[in-house]
Chain A
Amino acid sequence: MRTCPLVAVALMLVTGVATAQGDRGKRLYDAHCARCHSIGGTGGEGPALARPVLPRAADDETLFDVIRNGIEGTDMPETWQLSKSEIEEIVLYVRSLGRIEREALTGDPERGRALYEGRGGCVVCHIVEGEGGILGPDLTNIGSLRGTAHLREALTDPGASVLKGYVVVRAIQADGTEVTGHRINEDSFTIQLRDERGRFHSLSKRDLRELEPKPGQSLMPSYEKELTSEEIEDIVAFLAGLRGAP
C-alpha cells in the first residue's frame, strides 16, 4: 500500500508523545490494547482512542475503571492481570494520544458527501442517521470511532480489517446450493449467514458439504480504481466528520 505522508507525520507525533510520557505506558498499551485499538490509538476493531474526549471515559478515573473492568456487552475485556500502576500508565498514555494534533484532512467533505450518496453508491449498503442500506456497518458515528488511516484503508482495501459480523463465508449445502454472506453468528453445530440481499440463512454444519471462511475478503468493493485519490480523500473527509451519536 502506498504510504501517506500525513500518516507518517501522525505516527512521528505519536512516538514523540510516547517518549515524553515514558515508554512503559506505550509498551503496555501496544501489548494489551493495540490489537483492537491499533498502534497509536487510531482505531481498528475497537474505537479510536486518539481523540480529546472519550465518550465512555470522561475522566481518568472512569478510564481506569473501563480498562480494569471492561465494558459489558462489548468486546472490551476486563484486564485483571494488569496491576494498578500498570493501568495508570496506560491511562496516561491513552490520554496523551488524545492530545496529538489531529491529522489535517485534505479532502472536501461536501464533495465527499456527494460521492457517498451518488457515484460511490455507499448509501446502498450503509446507514447514516437512519438513511441507507443495511448490508454494511452503520456509519452515523464512524468519525468518532475510527481514525482517518483506517477510513482510507476501508475504502481502498476493505478486506484488510473486516469487523466481527462482516466476515465473508461461503457454504455449500448437501444439494449443492451455495450461500455466500456475512457470518452473523456461529457455534460448533450451526452457522447463521446474511447474504448480499439481506436474507438470513440458518445452516446446520452437519448438512454442509463445504464451509469456507474467506478472511481478508469483504462484500464491499475496493474504490482504489473506481475513484481518484482526491475523491477518496473527499469521502474520508466526509466520513471523518460523521460524529452523530455520542
Chain B
Amino acid sequence: MTRSVILLVTVFAFSAMLEGQVTYERLRNADREPGQWLTYSGDYASHRFSSLDEISRDNVARLRPAWIYQTQESGELETSPLVADGVMYLTEASGAVVALDVKTGRELWRWSRPLPNDLRTLGFPRTNRGLAILGETVYAGTLDAHLIALDAISGAVRWDRNVAENELGYAITAAPLAIDGKIIMGVSGGEAGIRGFLDAYDAATGERVWRFHTVPGPGEPGNETWGGDSWKTGGGATWLTGSYDPESNLLIWGTGNPAPDWNGDSRPGDNLYTCSVVALHADSGALAWFFQFTPHDVHDWDANQIPVLVEEVVQGERRKLVAMANRNAFYYLIDRTTGQFLRATPYAKQTWAKEIDETGRPVLLPDKAPTEEGTLVWPSLQGATNWFSPSYSPRTKLLYVAVREMGSYYFKAEAEYEPGEYFMGGGERALRDEAYGAIRALDIATGETRWEFKQLTPPWAGVLSTAGDLVFAGSEEGNFFALDATTGEPLWQFQTGGDVRANPIAFEIDGKQHIGVAAGRAIFVFGL
C-alpha cells in the first residue's frame, strides 16, 4: 500500500470511530446534549426530563406523526429507544435489536437470533425494555439471559456472555446501564425462585467484573433474615435499570420481591435485600448502604421502580436524595449518601400499612396477608405504580408518576420449589371493574399530590416531562397524550391504535424537537 492510501484508510477509520463514539463523558453529561437520548432514563439521575422546549403548551396541539416504524417481531413493545448521532436504537418484544435512520425511520441494521424452544419467561410476557450504548457498541440483554455487545455501526456481534441459566428461570428484560468502562446488567426471574444478583461486565471484553447477590449467602450480613435454606431460592430480581451517581461512584438499584411471592411461611425474617434499594460501589459491587421498603413482602411489591436522584432541602437541610414512588403506594425520600430514611407519603390508595414509622419501617395493619379465601388489599399485585418510568422536572420540582388505582384479593397457596418452575404460593384476583389510572404530580420534597389527570384504566406507560412544561404519557386504550406540567390540563392526544406500554423520549431531528414512544407493535415519532 502506498503511503497516501494508508493515510486515507487511517483517516477514514478514525472519522468513522469519531462518528459513532458515545463516550462515558457524553453519558455523564447527557443533559448537555438534549438532541440525543443516550441512556435508558435520559440521564444517570433518571429524570426522564428533556430540556428541549420547542414543543410547548402553546403549540403542542399541532403535534403530528413524523414517521412510524412497525416491528417485525410479534409481541407488544415496552422498549425505550436510544437516539445517538442520527441513529435510533431499539429492541423489539422478543429481543431483536434494530438501528433506524432517525430522520426517516428506515432500518439501518437488525440483529436477532432464534430463542430456545424451551425458553422460560416465568411471570412476564416476552418483552425487552431497551439497551445501552457506550463507545461504538450497543448492549442488550436477551430473554435467555445473555448479554450481547453489538457494533453500533453494523450490528455485528462483538461479544456474547451467558449471564445466568434460563433453565432455572433467569431471563433479561431490562435495559443494561453503561458507565465508565462497565456494563451493569440486572436479571428477571423472581417468580421462579431465582437468587437475584446485579452484574458488572467489562464493556470491551465482556468479562464479568463483579456480581452482587441481592440475597446474601451464609456468613454474609443479611443472611440471618432468611429462615433455613430459603435464601437459595429467595428471589430479589434486579429487572429494571437503576441509576448512577458519578460523584460518589454509587449505583442505585431497586430489587424485586422475595420468593415465593405470596406465601412467606418458608422464609421467616425481613428477607434482605429484597424490595429494597441498594447502593453499590461501581468499581467493586460492594454494598455501600441499603434501604428496605417492604420487609418480608407477601404482596409481590417489587421495588423495581426507577430511583430518581435529586437534590432538595428536606428537614431543613439541602441533601442528595433518592426519590422513589414505590409499588407499595408510598413515595419515599432517602438520603443518597447514607441510605438514611427521611420521609414517606402515600400517593395512592393503600390499605396495608397504618403508617411508615420514623425508621422507614411500615407499621402493618392486621389481617392484610394473603389467605386461602382471599384478602382484599390496595394496591393490587401490580402495585400503585410499576416498572414504567416516572419523570422529574427541575422546572416545576414535581415528580410525575403514572399511578394504578386498583385493589386485589390476595390468595395464599402452598409453594414447592422445582428448578425452572413457578414458585409463587398464591395469586390475586384484581378488582378491575372499580380500577382506574392517573398521572399524578408529586411535590418532590413532600410527596404531596399537586394535581392529577384521571385515566379510564390503570396505565402501563411511563412519563416524560420537558422544558416546554409538558408531560407526555400513555394509556392502555392507545392514547398518547400531553398534559400541562403545572396544572395537568390535557392539551393534545393521539390514538396510536395499540396499548402504550413504554416510556416516551425526546430528541432532535435536524435540530427540531421530536417525541418518540412505542405503542402496540410500532414506534411513533411526533414533531411539529
Residues of A participating in the B interface, judged by any CB pair closer than 8 Å? 27-28, 31-32, 35, 79-84, 86, 186-190, 206
Contact = CB atoms under 8 A, between A and B. Distances in A.
B422 A187 contact: no
A187 B123 contact: no
B263 to A, nearest CB: 11
A188 B456 contact: yes
B424 A81 contact: yes
Nearest to A79: B427
Contact of B490 (A86, A186, A189): A189
B54 interface: no
B475 A31 contact: no
B331 interface: no
A50 B484 CA distance: 52
A31 B429 contact: yes
Given A27-B372, A188-B456, A189-B490, A81 B478 contact: no
A96 B117 CA distance: 34
Nearest to B191: A80
Given A31-B429, A81-B424, A188 B481 contact: yes
A80 B122 contact: yes
A18 B493 CA distance: 51
Contact of B411 (A31, A35, A189, A190): A31
A82 B479 contact: no
B409 interface: yes
B479 A188 contact: yes
B427 A187 contact: no
Contact of B427 (A81, A186, A188): A81
Contacts of B456: 186-188
A189 B481 contact: yes
Contacts, number: 60
Main secondary structure of the interface of B (DSSP, over half): loop
B495 A187 contact: yes
Contacts of B395: none
Interface residues of B, number: 31
Interface in B413-472: 413, 415, 421-422, 424, 426-429, 454-456
Interface string B369-395: 000111000000100000000000000
A75 B409 CA distance: 19
A31 B427 CA distance: 10
B428 A186 contact: no
23 contacts: A27-B372, A31-B373, A31-B374, A31-B409, A32-B427, A32-B429, A80-B124, A80-B191, A81-B191, A81-B261, A81-B422, A81-B426, A81-B428, A82-B427, A83-B424, A84-B422, A187-B456, A187-B495, A188-B455, A188-B456, A188-B481, A189-B479, A206-B490
A30 B493 CA distance: 40
A186 B477 contact: yes
A86 B475 contact: no
A116 B381 CA distance: 46
B421 A188 contact: no
A188 B475 contact: yes
B424 to A, nearest CB: 6
B499 to A, nearest CB: 11
B409 A187 contact: no
Contacts of A79: 427
Shortest Cβ-Cβ A-B pairs, 10 listed: A187-B477, A81-B427, A188-B455, A188-B456, A189-B493, A188-B475, A187-B479, A83-B422, A188-B479, A80-B123
Interface in B479-510: 479, 481, 490, 493, 495
Contact of B477 (A31, A80, A84, A188): A188
Contacts of A80: 122-124, 191, 422
A86 B372 CA distance: 12
B119 to A, nearest CB: 14
Contacts of B479: 187-189
Contacts of B124: 80
